[in-house]
Amino acid sequence: MYLKTVVAGFLLSVSICVADTQSVSADAGNKVCEKYGWSEVEDLARPFLSDVLYTALVMQGQSADYRASSAAEQALEPHMPEHVKEILRAIIEANC
């Protein structure tokens, strides 16, 4: 009986921790999505994209149902500074 109580308590605490982690991730994703739209992605990426890639990004942004995460995926380039890549990855992960 004691073992069942310990196991039940352990399982309950694990599920609470998982739920808290998921809500923190959702909150972080919502904050990223509130802060960055496709035009902010455009502004972040502009200094690091060629004219052709930048024009393609702008044209995609003018299409219907264009999402910031799609812009971030398109704009992400290996030669960008790490802080810009981190922001773009967060937008992609949040699926804004």
Q: What is the pLDDT of residues 24-75, one digit of tens each?
A: 445 666 889 999 888 888 899 999 999 998 988 888 878 767 788 988 998 9
Query: Domain tally for the chain?
Result: 1
Q: What is the pTM of this model?
A: 0.65
pLDDT of res. 91: 93
**Structural domain harbouring 78:** 2-94
Who wins on pLDDT, 96 or 66? 96
The CA distance from 67 to 72, in Å, is 9
The CA distance from 18 to 77, in Å, is 33
